[in-house]
Amino acid sequence: MSFSDLGLSDEIVRAVIARGYTEPTPIQLQAIPAVLSGSDLLAGAQTGTGKTAGFTLPILHLLSANTASANTTSANTIKGEPIRRSPIRALILTPTRELAAQVEESVREYGRYLKLNSMAVFGGVNINPQIQRLKSRVDILVATPGRLLDHVQQRTVDLSRIEILVLDEADRMLDMGFIRDIRRILTLLPKQRQNLLFSATFSDEIKELAQGMMNRPILIEAARRNATADLVSQKVYPVNREMKQDLLAHLIKQHNWFQVLVFTRTKHGADRLSKHLTQEGIPALAIHGNKSQMVRTRTLAKFKDGSLQVLVATDIAARGIDISELPHVVNFELPHVPEDYVHRIGRTGRAGSEGEAVSLVCVDERKLLADIEKVIKRSLPQEVVAGFEPDPHAKPEPIQNGQNRRQRAQVPSRQSSSRGGAKPSSPRSDKPKLSSSESGEGKSRSRNSSRRSPSSGRR
């Protein structure tokens, strides 16, 4: 089946073909007709399956086909000055800056032959250019929750005319503590709207959120829940904790790996590892929440074009890294939440290409490995590298940031469902200690709003 067979307009199909795609992926085959029907949609799909096109293509079709809403204007104020403008008609929420930029780029590319305008707003950059851009027509807005609420507070966006809402990577947004921000945003939207929720994994919190915002949604799953891609080969290398850095350098050199995405748990760990690899003659840079958006964008561009051999990233920063043929993903440290393993290795094996995911596991992480294997319903093959044999008598030590994030994330979800619930604690140890608009990844408007003038341009 082709994209034109799904009922998309000729202009959209033309743009899809221009990007080199001719046949829809399984998630697109299911999602596009569902969205075109006007129904709410609850979709489960692995990362790398083409889910972004699964919602951007039908949204572009629906908005371009119904131009009546676009031709009306809404009154609002910018910096206290009354203006009239066309309303924002579709809102796409994403957990991170990189993913927001990636999704908005897809909207522009697929809508290149349509008379629709889009933009992305996220933290880590000056808010003033975004305010100026919002004065002009924006049909589709892609945003991180934190920066969107900054604009709401400054009255620079009007969400009262939203026709379609998308929560992309909903599981990640909840993991990052955005549930209160999301609930606040929902109160600003019209009750009559189409809701689309995409999530690679499902939890009770996701189900609760969907139940509260959706009207008899169509449920689709492109793959078994929490499954890993078939084209990704997976392997575990047991090793002593103090030998991990040297083993990774050895594997990269021995196998001549290029474009290697390496995951660490913390920002400081990412910096230490990238420094060690560089000292070993392996070009490496780190990307995480403490890096400025300019540095993150520049580093990611180097990695995508192949001029940077190794990118070391935390889970937060890695969201939005979309490289069609990324060959290698390394778990330098296993994640505390098993589903994060699925997210991580989903960076490779995308769009039908093969990939390799390896994990360096020390004695401290045996329980984490067992939890991962339980979730993905398979045992991972193990290989001991000569010269890096683990000590069989080594004793496990506590992992320093070791509180299970899922346990902490469940608490704010329950609290936020009732009035006056306590403010949730940060669920991620590697989140920068910045306000949400600076980090683009944090939450909590209440702590900072009292110290900020509505006319201030940035946190």
Whether 417 is in a domain gets the answer no
Whether 185 is in a domain gets the answer yes
Is the separation of the CB atoms in 267 and 314 below 8 Å? yes
Same domain (yes/no): 256, 317: yes
Alpha-carbon distance of 337 to 341, in angstroms, equals 8
Same domain (yes/no): 346, 305: yes
pTM for this structure? 0.65
Same domain (yes/no): 252, 200: no
Whether 280 is in a domain gets the answer yes
Whether 412 is in a domain gets the answer no
**Structural domain harbouring 258:** 232-376
Write the DSSP string, 291-305: S-HHHHHHHHHHHHT
Whether 333 is in a domain gets the answer yes
Is the separation of the CB atoms in 45 and 37 below 8 Å? no
Same domain (yes/no): 238, 149: no
Same domain (yes/no): 250, 214: no
Same domain (yes/no): 204, 258: no
How many domains in the chain?
A: 2
Same domain (yes/no): 352, 285: yes
Write down which residue in 337, 354, 376 finishes a domain: 376
pLDDT the model gives residue 304: 84
Place of tokens 């339980």: 374
Question: Which pLDDT tens digits describe the chain residue by residue (459 residues)?
Answer: 889 899 999 999 999 999 888 889 888 999 999 999 999 999 987 666 788 999 999 999 999 998 755 555 554 544 454 445 679 999 999 998 888 998 999 999 999 999 999 999 999 889 999 999 999 999 999 999 999 999 999 999 999 999 999 999 888 888 788 999 999 999 999 999 999 999 877 777 888 888 889 999 999 986 555 555 567 889 999 999 999 999 999 999 999 999 999 999 999 999 999 999 999 999 999 998 788 878 888 998 899 888 999 999 988 766 656 676 788 999 999 999 888 888 788 777 665 567 899 999 999 999 999 999 998 888 999 999 999 999 999 999 998 654 434 433 343 433 333 333 333 333 333 333 333 333 444 443 333 333 333 333 333
pLDDT the model gives residue 264: 95
Whether 449 is in a domain gets the answer no
Q: What residues pair up with 142 in beta bridges, in sequence order?
A: 92, 120
The candidate with the shortest Cα–Cα distance to 227, out of 336, 110, 349, 318, is 349
Write down which residue in 360, 376, 392 finishes a domain: 376
Same domain (yes/no): 168, 266: no
* Residue 215 vs residues 210, 219, 422: alpha-carbon distances, Å: 9, 12, 29
Whether 413 is in a domain gets the answer no
pLDDT the model gives residue 225: 54
Whether 246 is in a domain gets the answer yes
Same domain (yes/no): 159, 33: yes
Same domain (yes/no): 280, 356: yes
Write down which residue in 352, 376, 400 finishes a domain: 376
* CATH number, residue 250: 3.40.50.300
pLDDT the model gives residue 457: 34
Residue 307 burial by Cβ neighbours in a 10 Å radius (0-12, 13-18, 19+):
exposed
Same domain (yes/no): 237, 214: no
Is the separation of the CB atoms in 135 and 82 below 8 Å? no
pLDDT the model gives residue 71: 55
Same domain (yes/no): 212, 335: no
